[in-house]
Structures are given as C-alpha cells and as structure tokens.
Chains A and B, each alone.
Chain A
Amino acid sequence: MIAIIDYGLGNIKAFANVYKRLNIPHTFATTREQLEGASKIILPGVGAFDHAMSMLNNSGLRDTLDSLVLEQKIPVLGICVGMQMMANSSEEGEMSGLGWIPGTVKKFSHSDPVVKEKCPLPHMGWNNIVIEKEDSLFNDLDEEQRFYFLHSYFFECDEKENCLATADYGFQYSCVVRRDNVYGIQCHPEKSHHNGVAFLKNFATN
C-alpha cells in the first residue's frame, strides 16, 4: 500500500488518480495508523517552505514518518516542496528541514540580464530532465524526458552523488535526488502525462 501523506498541502488527488488508473493500491494518510502500514510513501507539497514544514510538524505524522523513513527504511518520494523539505534548510524560510538528504534549498537568481529575461520566476512549464545517474525510477521514460515544473526555489545537494537528474533553468540544478530510500523530484510527475505516470509507477513497483 502506497500512503499519500495528506497534511493539507499538495495535489494529493492527482497522485491518487494516477495510482487508481494504474490499479496500484494507495491511500491518503492523515493519521499515524494510516501511515504505519505503508510500503511506500508519497510526500507532496506546494507553497512556502515554512508553511509546509509547520503543516507537517503539526500534522501529528512527523514522528511516525521519521521512524518509517529513517529506521524502517521505507521508500519515500518527496514532490516539489515535499522534496525541498527533505533538505536541511531553505533560503525561503527559517525553519529546519527534515534533513534526510544533505543540502540547501536556494532561490533562483540570475544575475545575467539576458538569462534573467529568459528565466522568469516561477519556473513554470515543461522542461527536459537530464539523467545524471541511472536509476530504476527512470525506466520506460521517453527519450526526451519532459516534465512539468512549477517552482521558484531549487535543491542544492551537498553531495553530488545524491543527484540523479538535473534540469536547466539558467544553469543545471538537481531536479531528482536520492539518498538510500529517500527520493525527491522537483517537477510534478502527477501532471506530466505518460512520463510522469511511468515515473510514479516505477516508484510504486520497483
């Protein structure tokens, strides 16, 4: 059973729709009990970093989530701000992140005026990802791996080996990260047509 964490943020319905179409068992987790039996966890998220962190911290799920991810090594996939929360901290806020993947979340800032004009914020739309490190998450994707992005901050890994894929928005930045059982993706696979579906299927079944 895949648990989609429901702490009031993120388009949780979209994940459920994808898994429903794939006929993969899934549930929304709003309580510890619902979370405990999970074999995989999806951590969605949108909006401001601190807002998302405090929503998660106040959801009553935080301890269970920490123990599932860090002790029981249950695979978890953070999406968008859900991924950013896995860092140690963010320039967007004051609060500490989950600290599951060493790194900092930074705001895009392009000093070159030409680049700046080409890169309005938020980074909104379809962009290609470039795979830096093979992973079963990328099985069955198109040759041109196009995904939907919608964000103004990006994840900067402390350790290069945690970066699985990058995207180009003025410069190359990490858009898919992994450390052991902890995965994160900056773009929105739940709204990225067949590539996104393949990605979410890989996470669920591999």
Chain B
Amino acid sequence: MRAFQICTRCVMDTTDSKIKFDESGVCDHCRSYDKDTLPNWHTDERGRKELEKTIVKIKKDGEGRDFDCIIGMSGGADSSYLLHVAVKELGLRPLVFHVDGGWNSQIAVNNISVMIEKLGLDLYTEVINWEEMKDFQLSYFKAGLPNTDIPQDHAFVATLYNFAAKYKIKYILNGGNFSTECVRNPMEWLYYGTDMAQINDVIKKFGTIPLKTYPFSSILRHKIYLRYIVGVEVVKPLNFFPYIKAEAMKFLEQEYNWQPYPQKHFESRFTRFYEAYWLPQKFGYDTRKVQFSSLILTGQMTRDEAIEKLIQPAMSEDDARQEFEYVATKLGITTAEFKGYFDAPNKTYKDYKNNETMFVWGAKIMKLLGIERAIKR
C-alpha cells in the first residue's frame, strides 16, 4: 500500500489513489490548475468583454420570447449568486427552475423563495417521483458504489436539458466555476453521473420497481445531440469576473435574506449526509479536501486553515446518528439494513458495466477542441 502523502500546496492527498506528486511534493491537481485552468481563466476586463459578447447574443436570440435563458436553482451559493448576477448585472430574463429530489432542506426552499421574490421572477419546479427516486437511491447503496448521489445529480442534469429543449431555450446558465471548483473530484470518488451503461446495470441488478417517470438523459443526448444538433449552449458566467465565495454569500445574506450553508452542497439533506458522513466514513473520501483545495489555489483559504478544519469531522457524531436514522427511514428501510450496506464491501465503478472509455476519449476531444479545460481523472 502506498504511504500517506499530502500535497505541499493544497490539501489533496493519497486518499485520492491516482494522485501524483512532483519532486517538490506538489500534486497533479495543482499542476493542472497552473497549466490548464489559469491560462484560460480571465476575470478581468478581458473576461468581462468575452462574457458581454455572449450576453448580447443571448439577448438577441431571446427577443420576443418569454425567457432568454434557463437557470437551474438549488438554493446553494453558486446558483443563487448566479441568479443575482444574471438578472441584476447582466440584465437577462431567465426561466428559473428547480428540481425537487425529495431532500430539500429548509435553507434550500427559503433561499429559492427569497431570491425569486426579490428578483420578481417566476419559478418552475419539477418534482421527481419519490417512490422511484427512493428505489434508485437504494439501488446505489445496494451496489456498494461510492457515487450514491447519482440518482439526484442525474435527475438535475436531465431535467434541465429536458426543460431547455421543451421551451426551446438555447442558453443554459450554470453556476459552475473555477473559483470554487477548479480542483475536481477524482473519478474513483465520484464517477460520471451520466454513464447510462453503469446506471442501467445498477438498476437492473438492484432496482425493485420500474422507473417510469424518472428523467433520464444520456451524455450522448445532452452533450452531443442537444449541444451540437439543437444548439443548446452552456454558459458559466461566474468564470468571467472575480467570484469570491465568502463575499458572495455575505452579499446574498444582506441583499436577499438568504441563509448561508455550513458546507458546499448542503442544500440537499441527502447530499449533506452523503458527503459529510457516508463518503468519508465508508470510503475514506472527504470531498471537503477537493473544495478546500480549490479555495486554496484561488486564494480564498490558507492551507493551514484547511488542515485545521479537516481535523474536525464534517458531521458531528450526534448529527450523524440522527441523520443516519432519518435517511434510513426516508428510504423506507431499517437502520439495521442501512448499516448492512454501510458495512458491505466497497465497490468501484469498474465493478459494473461502464462506458469509461467513451467518456475518457470524449473528454480528451473536448479538451483538444478547447471546450473543457481540465480533465476529470
């Protein structure tokens, strides 16, 4: 087994088994940031101008329509701030839509509500059938795979594209950004959520009811068909000007009565449990390392601060005990059964059918074409 090593610049370490270090102990995430991300990331006048061009196009294409773009809203910091920017600074008229996967926290619904009201926008919601979602999520637990959040993630992505297609909206704005996400989750931690081969295999082996209404969308459909045939374009405005998360959250609090989250992705109760408990405790993957590393590289957190925070578990013991029981009850199983899945052997995406090769080649091509900057690995 490999000896434990942590990057000397960020806080990624050998819990990411594929991590590489150079002679000075700096990891490949940092190197990729220097080499692939930084040169292509302009938050100054240049970025602003680039974005302006896109915005003009969005507005022009949207003339005479009810909406000129679509924004998926989770209630989290990135999507909330994006919504503010899109309306107040860019003057866009977004269709705001939210997917309810059955795990919304009070903070999430509050934040969506206050933003919508203050900005005078109308909201669309898609509620995923809970009995199907439950069965799908249980299938992933039974499969022993780390990425148990695929059923939620996939639904969010698929519904967004379906909505864009249905309302003939050509521009999808999303809150994705280098500032807080320049270090990406390693593939072994969180495998692609849109690999239909894998999803179908897991459902076939562990599902107990047919998923009749659950929204599926394969990567081929939304990354190739919708983008290049239908011409749906994804825009990430937060990459074109300085986005400092702590400042953005403070601003939202003051301006909108927005409620802050203790940690990224905590707008969903499931994701909170999953990232703060299940993933680190069962698999040893602590997604805070990825989040903090991004903040370190972009100068929003010091490495010492991050190390200090990582000593504390992401979820207190008390909280974990209660959430464990709640998640089990919500999934309609006993805590004993849930514990069984926790104790079962850990699997990886390679243990089930997958289209990894296609994804890897796809990513390489995207990078060659300059569509994607850093490669997930």
Contact = CB atoms under 8 A, between A and B. Distances in A.
| A touching B, CB within 8 angstroms | yes
Interface of A: 20-21, 23
Q: At the interface, is chain A mostly helix, strand, loop or mixed? A: helix
B213 interface: no
B318 interface: yes
B300 to A, nearest CB: 34
Q: At the interface, is chain B mostly helix, strand, loop or mixed? A: helix
Contacts of A23: 318, 321
Contacts of A21: 322
Contacts of B321: 23
A23 B320 CA distance: 12
Nearest to A23: B318
A196 B318 CA distance: 20
Nearest to B321: A23
B322 to A, nearest CB: 6
A56 to B, nearest CB: 32
Contacts of B322: 20-21
Interface string B306-322: 00000000000010011
Interface of B: 318, 321-322
Nearest to B322: A21
Contacts of A20: 322
A23 B322 CA distance: 9
A19 to B, nearest CB: 12
A23 B318 CA distance: 7
B143 to A, nearest CB: 31
A188 B322 CA distance: 23
A147 to B, nearest CB: 22
4 contacts: A20-B322, A21-B322, A23-B318, A23-B321
Contacts of B318: 23
A108 to B, nearest CB: 36
A189 B318 CA distance: 22
A133 B322 CA distance: 36
Nearest to A22: B318
A20 B329 CA distance: 15
A20 B321 CA distance: 10
The 4 closest A-B pairs by CB, nearest first: A23-B318, A21-B322, A23-B321, A20-B322
B313 to A, nearest CB: 16
A85 to B, nearest CB: 33
B335 to A, nearest CB: 12
Nearest to B317: A23
B224 to A, nearest CB: 49
A16 to B, nearest CB: 13
Nearest to A20: B322
B316 to A, nearest CB: 10
Nearest to B325: A20
B339 to A, nearest CB: 17
A23 B319 CA distance: 10
A21 B321 CA distance: 9
A168 to B, nearest CB: 31
B130 to A, nearest CB: 23
B329 to A, nearest CB: 12
A20 B318 CA distance: 10
A21 B322 CA distance: 7
A116 B322 CA distance: 45
B269 to A, nearest CB: 15
A23 B321 CA distance: 10
Nearest to A21: B322
B325 to A, nearest CB: 9
A88 B48 CA distance: 79
A100 B203 CA distance: 62
A20 B322 CA distance: 9
B134 to A, nearest CB: 23
B55 to A, nearest CB: 45
A164 B318 CA distance: 33
A151 B318 CA distance: 35
A82 to B, nearest CB: 27
A21 B343 CA distance: 24
A14 to B, nearest CB: 16
B159 to A, nearest CB: 34
A63 to B, nearest CB: 36
A21 B318 CA distance: 8
A12 to B, nearest CB: 19
